[in-house]
Amino acid sequence: MSTRDVPAQVGDLPPIGRPANSALLEAGITTLAQVAACSRRELLALHGVGPRAVRILEAALEERGLTFAA
What is the rounded average pLDDT for all residues in the chain?
91
CA distances from 55 to 2, 6, 16, 23, 61 (A): 24, 21, 9, 16, 10
pLDDT value at residue 10 = 76
> Do 32 and 60 meet the contact criterion of CB atoms below 8 Å apart?
yes
Q: Residue 40 above 60 pLDDT?
A: yes
- Dihedral sign from CA coordinates of 13, 19, 20, 22: positive
Q: Residue 38 above 80 pLDDT?
A: yes
pLDDT value at residue 4 = 64
User: What is residue 46's DSSP assignment?
Assistant: S
Question: What integer is the mean pLDDT of 47-67?
Answer: 97
Structural domains of the chain, ranges and CATH numbers in brackets: 3-63 (1.10.150)
The pTM for the full model equals: 0.87
